[in-house]
Structure 1
Amino acid sequence: MKGAPRVRHARLADLTRVAELAAEHASYEEAAPPAPDLAERLGVLLFDTANPRLRCLVAELPDSEVVGYATCAPELSTWDGREYLHMDCLFLRSGNRGLGLTEVQWQTPAWNEGAVRFYDRIGAGVKEKLRYTLPVQG
């Protein structure tokens, strides 16, 4: 295998594989299997050129095998009165976990001591940074 694993946007050709991974994900969570036509449903949600409702990233090994996926969709924040992306699913096949293919990052205000204690207790690492916001005009 050449190169390194990568995370990339899903393509139309990936949908059958993403649907297979979603079935593994459902089994892992002891949930009902996805709809048999999931690949087609995802295609409409992801690739509707007028209004895509879903985003999907896939984790791909150097040999081009897709071994994981993450999906997110626009949601609304009442407090902010605007859209944000909500991550719905994050899944990696069993033999591919812990290899650094994906990483989840989040943030909390420094004063939120309860959250900080919880994140420290589960082994999450902290990276100090400043958070900036800048409204975009146009």
Structure 2
Amino acid sequence: MSDSPVVRHAERADLPRVAELAALHAEYERAAPPAADLAERLAVLLFGTPAPRLRCLVAALPDGEVVGYATCAPELSTWDGREYLHMDCLFLLPGHRGLGLGVLLMDAVADEARTLGLDAVQWQTPTWNEGAIRFYDRLGAEGRQKVRYSLSVRH
């Protein structure tokens, strides 16, 4: 066991904890809670195909407790005519922010992009999330304002 926190790829056994963290993340962002079967859905996306599209990284304390996660997947930019890595989520439990784990997660996401041969990572955060905005600004990321839309398409 390491004496330092680590960021690693999620394993199947981590998914119930990732689902718990995702529920806390949704609550923090004032969003609807994730699906009750999120851990099972993530298992399919992460482990259900020979070439999974989704990647999930977890931040674990030296005792193995998972206290944060980041998810990402390749996406296409029409304007650039190439793929980039879209980071869908990055979340740390409140008591574990400001300790360097966010930087470790962001470094791991950037490493995922490099591994996939991609040269950019993009993501979004709510405009009211000033702590996250300061964190991303300190990393040297460029903020671009847009309004995010979601359209439910029911069968």
Q: TM-score, normalised by structure 1?
A: 0.73
Q: For 2:139 and 2:69, how far apart are their aligned partners in 1? A: 23
Tell me, yes or no, if structure 1 residue 124 matches structure 2 residue 138: yes
Which stretch has the larger CA shift, 23-32 or 44-53? Answer: 44-53
Show the counterpart of 1:72. 72
- Per the TM alignment, residue 31 of structure 1 is displaced from its structure 2 partner at its CA by 0.9
Which structure: larger Rg? 1
Partner letter of residue 63 of structure 2?
Answer: D
Partner letter of residue 93 of structure 1?
Answer: L
Tell me, yes or no, if structure 1 residue 49 matches structure 2 residue 49: yes
Identical positions, percent: 73
What are the equivalent positions in structure 2 for 1:1-138 lying under 5 Å apart?
A: 3-103=3-103, 104=106, 122=134, 124=138
Q: For 1:7 and 1:65, how far apart are their aligned partners in 2? A: 11
The structure with more helix, counted as a fraction of residues: 2
- Per the TM alignment, residue 81 of structure 1 is displaced from its structure 2 partner at its CA by 2.5
Q: For 1:52 and 1:125, how far apart are their aligned partners in 2? A: 28
Unmatched runs of 5 consecutive residues or more in structure 2? 111-133, 141-155
Cα deviation code 1:24-48 (max 9, x no counterpart)? 1011111111000000000011112
The count of residues paired between Structure 1 and Structure 2 equals 114
Q: For 2:73 and 2:139, how far apart are their aligned partners in 1? A: 27
Q: For 1:42 and 1:125, how far apart are their aligned partners in 2? A: 28
Partner letter of residue 138 of structure 2?
Answer: A
Q: For 2:15 and 2:2, how far apart are their aligned partners in 1? A: 24
Q: TM-score, normalised by structure 2?
A: 0.66
Q: For 1:27 and 1:93, how far apart are their aligned partners in 2? A: 12
Unmatched runs of 5 consecutive residues or more in structure 1? 107-121, 127-138
Q: Secondary structure at the match of 2:17?
A: helix
Q: Secondary structure at the match of 1:80?
A: coil
Which of structure 1's runs of 4+ aligned residues deviate more than 3 A? Answer: none
